[in-house]
Amino acid sequence: MSKSWRPATQLVHGGTTRSQHGETAEAIFLTQGFVYDTSAAAEARFKGETDGFIYARYGSPTNDMFEKRMCMLEGAEDARATASGMAAVSAAILCQLKAGDHIVAARALFGSCRWVVETLAPKYGIECTLVDGRYLQNWEKAIRKNTKVFFLESPTNPTLEVIDIAGVATLANQIGAKVVVDNVFATPLFQKPLELGAHVVVYSATKHIDGQGRCLGGVVLSDKAWIDEHLHDYFRHTGPAMSPFNAWTLLKGIETLPLRVKQQTENASRIADLLAGESKVARVIYPGRKDHPQADIIARQMTGGSTLVCFELKGGKEAAFALQDALEIVRISNNLGDAKSLITHPATTTHKNLTDEARAELGISAGTVRFSAGIEDGDDLLEDFARALAKVAG
């Protein structure tokens, strides 16, 4: 396995191990356990003197291939595949904290991520401060003596704000805290948090990594020392392990990740440009456009735009519903990163549980709409949007 392979090559060949049959595609090892030739072999395996698997909750061959392939892509030393993105996020945060510790997190978080730090962690005596993560001074001001973890997503959901990851990592290193980045929206192709100084990266593999709407999955990646010290035992004994069947689905999914993300980004960028020239649209936020409010940070830390577009219709909820209902190819769904183009109205779906005030803080209004570009022909998507926009009252 060559570390110098470029992503498209890594994602087809990385981590593959073949059985005695020499199968072309990765094999699915749907087994709970493993057998040993002798008692002494079992003893040696349990002592860690020989390599090999012990029990599927700890690790198994198909999952191992998925973890190694993700490590290669991310430039990480080690990884653990989890049953869902939220299993990855909650494990990455909770495994390294104890009562009395403090988290600083950006307030613009995926709903369940926000629940983990804002509601669950305090039940165990872990305090959390939520900040407007766009400004580094807010992170600095929130630091306490017991701050151990900084947690963020960038770009954020749904308003595609970005956070200066290298800047947050510098602050964290000054106090010995760890930066955990949920990198779902950027995808591993457009942003490398570990290279920017973050310590731990998490993904919901449910999104672009599967990319075809089939299964849930997640992954936590970091250096070996952090995984050994914090995640290894937590993962083994709390049991968030990914199903080997899903690991196999995701292994096949990531083979085509670069092709899909390229097409999705091109489609997203064309739709963003169309919307920006439309009088019924108040504003368009797209990380690939020069008019993104934080274009300077994007130029420093991302190598591509986004597969998502956020925009605000002047006509509020009524206009947003009219547009969504008039689209024929683009389907209404709160999911994202799929081969199919999807659209959602955050105020009434993904962000309905927030107070009006919290939604306003995040820039989510009644007219805010989030579009996740699929891999369809871009001309068809443009025609679908043009036709649907014509039906929205001006």
Ligand X SMILES: *Cc1c(COP(=O)(O)O)cnc(C)c1O
x/- contact string, 108-127, with ligand X (CB under 6 A)?
--x-xx--------------
β-pair type (308-313, 368-372)? antiparallel
Q: Is 210 in the site for ligand X (CB under 6 A)?
A: no
Within 91-110, the residues that bind ligand X by CB under 6 A are 110
Query: H helices of 156-256, where?
Result: 165-175, 187-190, 224-226, 232-238, 244-255
Give the nearer residue to ligand X in terms of CB position, either 85 or 288.
85
**Cis bond leading into 158, ω under 30°?**
yes
Query: H helices of 256-369, where?
Result: 257-276, 295-301, 316-326, 356-361
Q: Is 267 in the site for ligand X (CB under 6 A)?
A: no
Minimal distance in Å, beta carbon 375 to ligand X? 18
Encoding tokens for residue 332? 């209404």
Q: Which of 80, 207, 280, 345 is close enough to bind ligand X by CB under 6 A?
A: 207
Q: Is 182 in the site for ligand X (CB under 6 A)?
A: yes
| Maximum separation of any 2 CA atoms in the chain, in Å | 77
x/- contact string, 55-84, with ligand X (CB under 6 A)?
-----------------------------x
Q: How far apart are CA 394 and CA 390, in angstroms?
A: 9
- Tell me 277's DSSP state: T
What value, to the nearest 5°, has the Cα angle with vertex 199 and ends 175 and 139?
A: 45
Give the nearer residue to ligand X in terms of CB position, either 207 or 351.
207
Q: How far apart are CA 393 and CA 225, in angstroms?
A: 57
Minimal distance in Å, beta carbon 11 to ligand X? 19
Number of residues that bind ligand X (CB under 6 A): 17
Minimal distance in Å, beta carbon 319 to ligand X? 25
Tokens 């990914």 identify what position? 242
Q: Is 187 in the site for ligand X (CB under 6 A)?
A: no
CA 301 from chain centre, in angstroms, equals 16
Give the nearer residue to ligand X in terms of CB position, either 213 or 293.
213
Minimal distance in Å, beta carbon 183 to ligand X? 8
Q: Which residues contact 277 (CB under 8 A, 6 or more apart)?
A: none
Q: Is 157 in the site for ligand X (CB under 6 A)?
A: yes
Q: Is 371 in the site for ligand X (CB under 6 A)?
A: no
Region of 11-19, 53-61, 179-187, 352-360 interacting with ligand X (CB under 6 A): 179-187
Q: Which residues bind ligand X (CB under 6 A)?
A: 84-86, 89, 110, 112-113, 153, 157, 182, 184-185, 204, 206-207, 216, 218
